């Protein structure tokens, strides 16, 4: 998490032709801003006073950032970061929670984040926060529908709800040489899911719930200290989650081209045997590199594109992505039925 924030601050500084965080240091060592991001900023947030306005419901005020952060964190449990690791005859699945309904779990957890946004706006006893909460909930619900339909098309394609099985299904080759990643089967679902995912993270160009010129800081205007940090963390963790899901669903997940459980098997007939732990390490590295790339892509989008107007935001979700997602589900189902041929 801290390294991700450091990465974003440095990328944004590069885009804006400045240095970035580099002031805090330990015994003169600034570490290119790592001390600033990993040490100074967390200490500053944790030591700030937790201010709660008079007339505020203290329980709801506390629950809002928790409900915003926790569902996003637990969603990572079903994201596979590797296939299996064999240790002393024992097979370890490189996935925290082996659920055969992983996609449903993802949708359920992501939808819970709406409650944190709504409660944050309502419990703050501030009209600007309330407006930000209403905007945020409307935006998240609107784009969750398109996101869900994009996932339906992916489920129809793979025939499973298990994210690990989806990653494994992308391990075979098309025409004997091309990795059969999901982007080749569902390019439209990829565009819809990525756009909806960026909108779910509520960051520029979709940061209408916290639009500074209109709503100060939106639904967490009246939050400070650790609670404010939790809201900020939830938005950034959502960015990493979207990158992880895009990697798993559309870009092979942990798959490395031509790498099987016993080593590399190349299309021209050559082979290279590898130990199980080396294969697992290469898979984890592959997943991590793809994750970093799509995280970087979202950071670049944030720091280069202007903010939508609210009507443009809603129009894109309801009149743009939703019909396209519905059409994609229908076309995907028809293609699969026609490809299967008549029943025996």
Residue 235 has pLDDT above 60, yes or no: yes
Q: What percent of the chain has pLDDT over 70?
A: 92
| CA 35 remoteness from chain centre | 26
pLDDT reported for residue 344: 45
The boundaries of the domain holding residue 32 are 1-47
What average pLDDT does this structure show over 4-20?
80
The vertex-109 CA angle with 76 and 149, nearest 5°, equals: 100
Q: Does residue 189 contact residue 153 with C-beta atoms inside 8 Å?
A: yes
d(CA 287, CA 264): 17
Q: Do 239 and 303 fall into the same domain?
A: yes
| pLDDT tens-digit readout, 54-66 | 777 788 888 888 9
Residue 251 has pLDDT above 90, yes or no: yes
Number of domain units in the chain: 2
Q: Is the pTM of this model over 0.85?
A: yes
Query: Counting every residue, how long is the chain?
Result: 344
pLDDT band at 78 (very low <50, low <70, confident <90, very high): very high
| pLDDT tens-digit readout, 95-137 | 998 889 999 999 999 999 888 888 888 888 778 788 888 888 8
Residue 24 has pLDDT above 90, yes or no: no
d(CA 181, CA 171): 8
pLDDT reported for residue 217: 65
Q: Do 17 and 73 fall into the same domain?
A: no
pLDDT reported for residue 302: 87
Q: Do 15 and 138 fall into the same domain?
A: no
Indicate the average pLDDT of the chain: 86
Q: Do 171 and 299 fall into the same domain?
A: yes
| pLDDT tens-digit readout, 142-152 | 999 999 999 99
Q: Which helix (H) or strand (E) holds 54?
A: none
Q: Do 230 and 320 fall into the same domain?
A: yes
d(CA 8, CA 18): 13
pLDDT band at 201 (very low <50, low <70, confident <90, very high): confident
d(CA 282, CA 276): 10
pLDDT band at 27 (very low <50, low <70, confident <90, very high): low
Q: Do 155 and 297 fall into the same domain?
A: yes
Residue 307 has pLDDT above 70, yes or no: yes
Residue 254 has pLDDT above 90, yes or no: yes
Residue 138 has pLDDT above 80, yes or no: yes
pLDDT reported for residue 213: 57
Q: Do 327 and 224 fall into the same domain?
A: yes
Q: Do 33 and 119 fall into the same domain?
A: no
Q: What percent of the chain has pLDDT over 90?
A: 40
pLDDT reported for residue 291: 95
d(CA 58, CA 13): 38
Say if strands 271-273 and 263-265 run parallel, antiparallel, or are unpaired: antiparallel
Residue 329 has pLDDT above 80, yes or no: yes
Q: Do 206 and 309 fall into the same domain?
A: yes
Q: Do 26 and 149 fall into the same domain?
A: no
Q: Do 126 and 33 fall into the same domain?
A: no
Q: Do 107 and 134 fall into the same domain?
A: yes
């Amino acid at each position: 998490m801290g390294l991700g924030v450091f990465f974003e601050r440095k990328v944004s500084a590069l885009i804006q032709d400045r240095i970035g965080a580099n002031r805090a240091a330990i015994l003169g060592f600034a570490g290119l801003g790592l001390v600033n991001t990993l040490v100074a900023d967390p200490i500053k947030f944790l030591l700030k006073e937790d201010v709660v306005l008079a007339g505020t419901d203290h329980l709801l005020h506390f629950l809002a950032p928790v409900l915003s952060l926790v569902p996003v964190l637990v969603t990572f449990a079903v994201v596979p970061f590797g296939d299996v690791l064999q240790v002393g005859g024992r097979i370890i699945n490189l996935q925290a929670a082996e659920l055969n309904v992983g996609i449903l779990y993802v949708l359920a957890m992501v939808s819970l984040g709406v409650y944190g946004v709504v409660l944050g706006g309502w419990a703050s006893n501030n009209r600007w926060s309330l407006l930000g909460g209403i905007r945020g909930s409307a935006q998240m619900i609107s784009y969750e529908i398109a996101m869900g339909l994009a996932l339906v098309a992916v489920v129809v394609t793979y025939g499973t709800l298990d994210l690990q099985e989806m990653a494994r299904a992308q391990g075979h080759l098309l025409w004997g040489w091309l990795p059969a990643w999901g982007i080749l089967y569902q390019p439209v679902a990829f565009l819809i899911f990525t756009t909806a995912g960026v909108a779910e993270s509520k960051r520029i160009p979709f940061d209408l719930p916290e639009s500074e010129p209109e709503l100060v800081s939106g639904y967490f205007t009246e939050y400070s200290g650790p609670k404010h940090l939790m809201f900020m963390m939830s938005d950034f963790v959502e960015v990493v989650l979207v990158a992880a899901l895009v990697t798993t669903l559309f870009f092979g997940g942990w798959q490395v081209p031509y790498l099987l459980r016993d080593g590399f098997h190349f299309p021209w007939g050559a082979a290279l045997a590898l130990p199980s732990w080396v294969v697992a390490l290469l898979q984890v590295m592959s997943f991590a590199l793809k994750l970093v790339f799509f995280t970087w892509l979202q950071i670049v989008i944030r720091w280069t594109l202007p903010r939508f107007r609210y009507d443009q935001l809603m129009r894109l979700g309801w009149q743009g992505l939703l019909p396209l997602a519905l059409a994609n589900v229908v076309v995907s189902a028809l293609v699969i039925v026609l490809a299967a041929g008549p029943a025996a």
